[in-house]
Each structure stands twice: as C-alpha cells, then as structure tokens.
Structure 1
Amino acid sequence: MNTRRHVFLTLLAASAVLAGCAGPQVSDYAQQRPTLQLDRYFNGRIRAHGIFQKRGGEVVRRFTVVMDCRWEGNQGVLDEAFSYSDGSTSRRVWHLTKHEGGRYTGRADDVVGEAAGQESGNAFRWGYTLRLPVDGKEYEVQFDDWMFLVDERVMLNRATMSKFGITLGEVLLSFTKE
C-alpha cells in the first residue's frame, strides 16, 4: 500500500471514530419525561407511519406498520407488518429480551447477530445491522435507531442507516399506541 493511500485510510477511519463519539448519548435524556418503559409501550397493538429519505433528503419510500406486541416476563415479541406506498409488503418479527438497567437485546430474521439497546428517561437507542434487499441483492447496513416518547400514546423514531460509516439515509416514524 502506498503512503498516500495509507494516510488517507487512516484519516478516514479516525474521522469515522470521532464522528461516532461526538453525538448524544441515551443517558443525556435521563431526566426527560414521560419515562419510557419499552416493554410497557410495545405491548398491545401499535400503528406507525414512516418515510425513508436518502442522505440528500429525498423521500423515496413511504410506509405504514401494524405491530402486534406482547411480553411474558422479560421476553417480548414485536410482530411488524409493513405496507409500502408501492403496494409491496413485508414482515419482521423481533424477539426481545429485557435486561437489568434498562438494557434490551433482540433478534429478527433479517438482523445480523444481536441488536442492543438502552432506555433512559424518555429515550431509547437501538443499534443493529440489517440485511437489506435492494434490486435482487442483499446489503448489510447499520442502524442507529433513536426513539423518543412524546406522551403515553405517541413515540417518534429516527433511525440513521449507514455502511462503512457513511450515512445512506434516514427512516422517520411516528408510533401511535391503540
């Protein structure tokens, strides 16, 4: 590897690490109310409306989600049925585990490995890698998923999707508990 390329790759990696450290932490929201208890909010039927925007801001997909959620002890199932503006549909079933200290882990068929999250105050931050089908191929992309409880029925969600530390777009969602 030549010296210029090595320097460039080192700077690129360092800036990606610094960018990841610069943002807010879920603990920054510890005093915010109402307090989110993820296992209580995601219990019963939830409806959501969302969009996917490319990194330049262009909305390229609109969708709705109907979620049937249930918990037994510290084990939860979130069964998500997606309907997209182009008429297509999909389904994701999350299997979640609640741990001490407001931590959660989860798995779904299109999630690589295990998702990990933390709740604090009115916020929840969730990180995971998703296998995303695009034009007949699958790509593994990372999600930095933030949820904020507005009131007992409404929660807002903003998820940043990236690959190799480069932002590809954002998902914006509004959840309403029935």
Structure 2
Amino acid sequence: MMGLGFALGAAAVLGLLWLKGRFAGFMAQRPDDYAQDVRQIDIRRDLNGPLICEGVIYGPLGRVVSRFTGDFDVSWQGNRGVMTEHFKYESGGEQHRRWELTLGNDGTIRASAPDLVGEGTGAQRGGSVCLRYRIRLPEDSGGHVLDTTDWMYLTPNGTIVNRSQFCKYGLKVAELVATMRKVEAV
C-alpha cells in the first residue's frame, strides 16, 4: 500500500510541475502577451543585414555547457527572408545554418532550415517574436530531435535578446540565451 501512495504522490508532484511550466513559466508565454509593447518589432527591419550573435547554452542541470558567437546575414525581399548563420563555439566547433522565413501580413511566421523536422511556426507581436519548431541535432551530438521554443525580445537600443528552450519528451534538456545586434558600420 505504501508503494501505491508513493507512486500517486510522485505522479501528483510531476503533474503539478507540468502545470506550473505550462501555465506559469517560460512555455506559458503567448505572442499576444506582448501586443501592447511600446516598441514594436518588425523582423524585416530588426533582423536584417549583418548581425553579431553572442550566447551561452545551459545543459539540463542549469550549468553552462557551451559558449558561442555567431555571424548572421539576413536579407528580405518583401515578406520573404533568408538568414544565414555561422556559429563558432568555444570548443572550436563550427556550425552553419540557412533559414528561409516568410512573414504573413498578420505577423505570423513560417520558417524552414535543413535541420528542422517539418516547418517552424510563430508570430511577431509587440516587441517580441515567438517561433516553435523541431530541430534534429547533428549525429555527433546524438542526432536527437528536440522540440524548440524561441522567444526574441527587442530592447530599447535595438538589440534582440533570444531565449530558447529545447525539450525531449516534454522535459527541458537545454536552454540558450543570446543577444543579436546589428554590426556597426565602419
């Protein structure tokens, strides 16, 4: 009988943790939460041209497991954009990605990249962008498919702060925090 009580208690705790994360945490945010922001993001303006990215990746225990910089180049033709990313990791590794972005007139976003499983979807509202997608890690990182939620927030000086969470089976396995800012003209 004690085993059943323990199992029910553990299930209740896990259920409460899931509810907290779903309705009160990072994953509970919605684009409309930011619709009234004073500063409005427009990815065609704010994610355009050459950008520098700097960030860290946290592992499942909350400790920094990787640091990186990235050189991005983004160009737009109307509501269709291409963003190329070149990451350099502190470990010496490098990574390249090419995103194809489509911005709907209602602020919805569709995104594709070679390492995505299916298409990413999201929206820009107020001073924020949310994008959700499934990403396949490189084979040397296990080849796992992770559910990803990216939130980007526009700051008053035009820098974008990006926070992403990566989940497997509903459990957070990594988090990324980075800044993106325009490269200063020389």
Q: TM-score, normalised by structure 2?
A: 0.84
1:159 is aligned to 2:164: yes
Pick the structure with greater CA Rg.
Answer: 2
Contiguous gaps of at least 5 residues in structure 2: none
Structure 2 Cα separation of the partners of residues 98 and 132 of structure 1: 26
The counterpart of 2:146, out of the listed 135, 141, 157, is 141
Structure 2 Cα separation of the partners of residues 37 and 70 of structure 1: 13
Q: 1:169 to 1:137 in 2, by over 3 A?
A: closer
Structure 2 Cα separation of the partners of residues 21 and 111 of structure 1: 26
Structure 2 Cα separation of the partners of residues 68 and 21 of structure 1: 35
Residue deviations 1:113-171, cap 9 Å, x none? 00001111101111000001254630000111100000353010100110111011210
1:48 is aligned to 2:48: no
The counterpart of 1:39, out of the listed 25, 31, 44, is 44
3-state DSSP of counterpart to 1:138: coil
Contiguous gaps of at least 5 residues in structure 1: none
Amino acid aligned to 1:60 = V
Hey, what does 2:106 align to over in structure 1? 101
Hey, what does 1:88 align to over in structure 2? 93
Structure 2 Cα separation of the partners of residues 19 and 136 of structure 1: 26
3-state DSSP of counterpart to 1:39: helix
Percent identity of the aligned residues? 31
RMSD: 2.3
Equivalent residue runs for 1:21-36 within 5 Å: 21-22=23-24, 23-36=28-41
Query: Once structures 1 and 2 are overlaid, which stretch shifts more, 88-97 or 148-157?
Result: 148-157
3-state DSSP of counterpart to 1:27: helix
The structure with the greater share of residues assigned to strand is 1
| Deviation (angstroms), 1:15 | 6.8
Moved runs in structure 1, 4+ residues, more than 4 A? 10-18
Q: TM-score, normalised by structure 1?
A: 0.88
Hey, what does 1:119 align to over in structure 2? 124
| Deviation (angstroms), 1:59 | 0.4
